[in-house]
Amino acid sequence: MTSVMLSFERPLVMGILNVTPDSFAGDGVLAHENYVIAALNQASQMIEDGATILDIGGESSRPGADLIDSSEEKRRVVPVIRAIRKQHATTPLSVDTMKADVARAALEAGADIINDISALTFDPAMASIIVQHNAWVVLMHNRSQRNVVLQEAAWGPSYQAPDYKDVLGEVIGDLQEHIAFARSAGISQKRIILDPGIGFGKSVEQNLTLINHLDHLCALGYPVLIGTSRKNFIGRVLEVPVEERLEGTAATVVVALERGASLLRVHDVKFMARVVMMTEAIRKAGGDPS
């Protein structure tokens, strides 16, 4: 049973650790001959660079990616969790999965947080696993359909956006429904984190709107995680490929912080940890502006 306590008195940086062969960002470690050692080395570097939390994923959620079975997902992530937990005993570990049996194995191996991009809707057993282990959960907004994908040679694939009449209001409404379900299942209110699902079934404009008005989601009273790192909408705004989206990601991080985000899920930990530190220093600066 996890006993980790997270404090959101200051924004936390969550480092992305992809134990996959097909990450859209090209950073998956599964191709390494000893992927567990490669993952551990990457984890240690991210912690040194300023990550407070690590988010470990064994199944790609990139547009058009195929689902893998739970046994393969466990094969990928469980040894990595054990290795990181052994070397970094106090670092909170999150696992990016929609499957209850993967979540159970991950939590038993030492994970603390289940980052479920389906917000508990994919696997009906997920909520009970989280309750049994007293785990934290990230509830992400996601109306995307896994195989309804726009293929764009220049910027990469993206999930096609459903029709929204009011994207901000509907995202908040959907998340309120997910919260109600989680609470009814016995998940503690104090262990719920919200994620607006940037890039998951939203157009460029809808993604930008959600970031710009993130304070409305933060007003629900839960910590809010924002995951914009290297995503397609940044490439389309700046007209740059995935490897040139550092500055665009930084801009989204700064605005998200200004709007109240508590967790920043990123690939480039060293740079984004510095962005967070500098933004917070400016925000906390005193003195009479007159």
Q: Is the four-CA dihedral 60, 64, 70, 71 of positive or negative sign?
A: negative
User: How many angstroms separate the CA atoms of 49 and 151, rounded?
Assistant: 34
Contact yes or no for 249/13 (Cβ under 8 A) = no
CA dist list (Å): 270 to 5, 45, 159, 275: 24, 9, 29, 9
- Model confidence, pTM: 0.92
Give residue 4's pLDDT. Answer: 76
DSSP 11-61: -EEEEEEE-SS--TTS---TTSTTHHHHHHHHHHHHHHHT-SEEEEESS--
User: How many angstroms separate the CA atoms of 226 and 250, rounded?
Assistant: 12
Give residue 209's pLDDT. Answer: 98
Neighbours of 284 (CB within 10 A): 8
User: How many angstroms separate the CA atoms of 112 and 53, rounded?
Assistant: 10
Whether 212 has a pLDDT exceeding 90, the answer reads yes
User: How many angstroms separate the CA atoms of 113 and 244, rounded?
Assistant: 30
3 state SS of 204: helix
Give residue 65's pLDDT. Answer: 72
Tens-digit pLDDT profile for residues 93-125: 999 999 999 999 999 999 999 999 999 999 999
Give residue 221's pLDDT. Answer: 97
Catalytic residue among 99, 236, 259, 265: 265
Query: CATH: 3.20.20.70, 3.10.105.10, 1.20.1290.10, 3.20.20.20. Which one for 12-283?
Result: 3.20.20.20
Q: Where are the domains of the chain?
A: 12-283
Find the mean pLDDT for residues 178-200.
Answer: 97
Whether 23 has a pLDDT exceeding 60, the answer reads no
pLDDT above 70 coverage of the chain, percent: 90
**Where is average pLDDT lowest: 115-119, 126-130, 143-147?**
143-147
Give φ, ψ of 96 to 5 degrees.
-90, 95
Give residue 29's pLDDT. Answer: 78
Give residue 145's pLDDT. Answer: 72
Contact yes or no for 167/143 (Cβ under 8 A) = no
- Catalytic residue check, 10: no
Whether 88 has a pLDDT exceeding 60, the answer reads yes
Half-sphere exposure of 139 (CA within 13 A, CB side): 28
Q: Which residue has the higher pLDDT, 20 or 50?
A: 50
Contact yes or no for 223/8 (Cβ under 8 A) = yes
Among the listed residues 173, 171, 153, the one whose alpha carbon sits nearest the alpha carbon of residue 161: 171
pLDDT above 90 coverage of the chain, percent: 80
**Which two three-digit tokens encode residue 230?**
């290297």
Pinpoint the alpha helices (H) of the chain: 35-49, 70-87, 100-109, 126-132, 167-184, 204-212, 214-218, 232-238, 246-258, 269-284
Whether 260 has a pLDDT exceeding 80, the answer reads yes
Find the mean pLDDT for residues 141-170.
Answer: 80
Catalytic residue among 76, 104, 191, 231: 231
User: How many angstroms separate the CA atoms of 283 and 290, rounded?
Assistant: 16
pLDDT bucket at 21, cuts 50 / 70 / 90: confident
- Catalytic residue check, 231: yes
DSSP-derived secondary structure letter, 186: T
What mean pLDDT is reported for the chain?
92
Find the mean pLDDT for residues 142-158.
Answer: 72
